Amino acid sequence: MAAAATDEYYLASNNNTSYSSNEPAAAAEQENYQGFGDSSYNDYTVYAPLYKAIFNNDWERAKAYLKHNPNAVSARLTSTGDTALHIAAVSGRIHLVKELVQLMPSEALEITTHVGCTALLQTAVTGSMEIAKLMVEKNSNLLRIKNPFNLIPLVVSAVNGNEVLLRYLYSVTPKEELDPRAGITGAAFLTSLIMADIYDIALDVLQRYPKLATSRDPDGNTIINMLSIKPSAFPSGNRHGLWQQLIYTSIPIELDHLFRDVERDEDTMRIRSEHVVQKFSQGLIQLAVMHRQEKIYNFMSQMGQKNEMAACIDNFGNNILHFAGVLAPAFQLDKVSGAALQMQREIQWFQEVEQMAQPKYRELPNKAGKKPRDIFREEHKALVKEGEAWLKETSQACMVVSTLIATVMFAAVFTVPGGNNGDTGTPIFLKTRTFYVFMICDAISLFASCTSILMFFAILTARYGEKDFLKSLPQKLILGLASLFISIATMMGAFGATLIIVLNGTVTWAYIPVTFLASVPVLLFGMLQFPLFVDIMRSTYGNGIFHKQNSKKKEKYGKHI
């Protein structure tokens, strides 16, 4: 939807403004024919020399022509109705635009092409802030003139993603132009800002006009529709670094204030199903579920809206559980580590929606005769296979390491450092503290590696049913990885203790570097596997993605729950 809007706005602002080197030649040829008395050609052809000078960025020739033909500065030079200013602006000739603006009366800057675009509207497409500034300083009324799609230059710049120009135009455009009571300008600007990832200005606009939160742009979209298909608008949609994450945490605070203000107008914010049914007969909650936007889902839960809107059924007989059964978009799956955890997240979504939906919807088929569970199984067949392959590959690799550790630690018990007493058979260094450290580390490493082997073996022999991905398989993987990490750490501890026993105080300076080097494998394993381990722990034992905000905001939204 947003892409279509962008193309539509772009065409409205940029139609027939492509200038090729052939047009001046054609115009000159027509001028030559006109010299022989041929009056069948349009009057604009007489301005071919000026057109060629502007197009070739030759101000001296253009200035000479305008000296003898002063009215040409505001004349239409092409069959599409472009003036010299239009041509210079679209071509990015900043110096020519400056000279032309000085020569032109201010009202002449408001001349539009045959499709209804001023030079500023065309500049909003190309994105030159310097050119726009020259025109606005001469005639600020240009900021209010709209294109055929009823969009002002500010909105056109947002649609085309020209952020530098947009910020300038936003600073000089009268803010009342964005008032939802004045038309669709504000809504079109807001949805375009969301698609362009310019959230600071979007927040400022919403704070000025909270009702824009539910206003629709020319394509019928609201800001919530745009957010539902923009994962990058939320922290969960990006894997930010530490500093980015710290900065990003301030955004929800601002949004809380914003939506609290909107809540005061219940006629505006109480979004009922009949008002949010889209072109495809999908309600807002259905869109949030289908695009896996838990932020919007949670927000509607806090506002007491989801149960009311979940009763919507589209034209094909699909209820909200059918939408939950559809495979998540690729950009949402990519946010989760590994196919197995992706499958776990999909099951969590389906179960959450299943708890919310009315019991009759759980077995209610659509017009194709398919129940929600049938849709879920069909859509996730490939993901189940990918999850099985991912788990088996991971388990096999880890199992090899665990087996090697277990073998070494088992053999170390019978070949203790320092050897055994020939008479008694007991270890020579049995009564030293370092030997106790060796034995404890060796035992822990052996037991942990054996536990790890058993867990990975259980994963390899699992039946890989859909529900196994929810708890059973992740739990085994957590225990296997944790045991493997412990076995590696204690194995290096046993190695360090053995080295101290063998050296027996003769090379004391080697203790520190050996200890440091022994810790490197442990740290590397932790650094490489810790993110995966944390993801599994969070998704399996964490608060979940659906209600983790409710406890924090219960007091704020308690009246709606």
Beta partners for residue 427, in sequence order: 420
Where are the strands (E) in 245-404, listed by range?
A: none
Question: Is the pLDDT assigned to residue 362 strictly greater than 70?
Answer: yes
- Say if CB 184 and CB 218 are below 8 A apart: yes
- Say if CB 437 and CB 458 are below 8 A apart: no
Domains along the chain with CATH numbers: 43-146 (1.25.40.20), 278-382 (1.25.40), 389-541 (no CATH)
- 47-56, 141-150, 501-510: least confident range: 501-510
Per-residue confidence band for 169, with pLDDT thresholds at 50, 70 and 90: very high
What pLDDT is recorded for position 25? 37
| Closest C-alpha to 277, from 229, 305, 314 | 314
Higher pLDDT, 199 or 20: 199
The whole-number average pLDDT for the span 434-459 is 93
Tokens coding 192: 């375009």
Question: Is the pLDDT assigned to residue 41 strictly greater than 60?
Answer: no
The whole-number average pLDDT for the span 58-69 is 92
- Say if CB 1 and CB 278 are below 8 A apart: no
The whole-number average pLDDT for the span 142-147 is 94
Question: How many whole angstroms separate alpha carbon 339 and alpha carbon 332?
Answer: 12
> Please, what is the average pLDDT of the chain?
78
The whole-number average pLDDT for the span 519-545 is 82
Q: Which of the listed ranges 140-154, 241-255, 412-426 does the model predict with the highest average pLDDT? A: 140-154
Higher pLDDT, 503 or 25: 503
- Say if CB 168 and CB 158 are below 8 A apart: no
- 99-108, 240-249, 422-431: least confident range: 240-249
What pLDDT is recorded for position 16? 39
Per-residue model confidence as pLDDT tens digits over 283-338:
677 878 888 888 777 776 665 555 555 667 878 888 888 888 999 988 888 888 88
Amino acid at 485: F
What are the φ and ψ backbone dihedral angles of 76, each rounded to 5 degrees? -85, 125
| Closest C-alpha to 184, from 3, 4, 16, 9 | 9
What pLDDT is recorded for position 386? 94
Region of residue 267 (phi > 0: left; psi between -120 and 50: alpha; otherwise: beta): alpha
Cβ atoms < 10 Å from Cβ of 52: 20
| Closest C-alpha to 14, from 146, 151, 123 | 123
Per-residue confidence band for 263, with pLDDT thresholds at 50, 70 and 90: very low
The whole-number average pLDDT for the span 73-92 is 90
Question: Is the pLDDT assigned to residue 240 strictly greater than 60?
Answer: no
Q: What is the DSSP letter of 173?
A: S
- Say if CB 95 and CB 56 are below 8 A apart: no
pTM of the predicted protein model: 0.52
Look at residue 420 and give its three-state secondary structure: strand
Higher pLDDT, 392 or 194: 392
What pLDDT is recorded for position 499? 81
What pLDDT is recorded for position 310? 63
Which run of H or of E encompasses 459?
helix 433-460
| Closest C-alpha to 177, from 156, 200, 198 | 156
Beta partners for residue 420, in sequence order: 427
Tokens coding 372: 């929600």
* Residue whose entry in the numeric block shows the structure tokens 């007091």: 555
Question: How many whole angstroms separate alpha carbon 353 and alpha carbon 362?
Answer: 10
Q: How far is CA 460 from CA 225, 390, 419, in A?
A: 43, 11, 40
Q: How many percent of the chain have pLDDT more than 90?
A: 36
- Taking the alpha carbons at both ends of the chain, their separation in whole angstroms is 32
- Say if CB 366 and CB 330 are below 8 A apart: no
Per-residue model confidence as pLDDT tens digits over 2-23:
433 433 333 333 443 333 333 4
The whole-number average pLDDT for the span 25-46 is 41
Higher pLDDT, 32 or 504: 504
- 56-70, 370-384, 385-399, 528-542: least confident range: 528-542
- Say if CB 446 and CB 527 are below 8 A apart: no
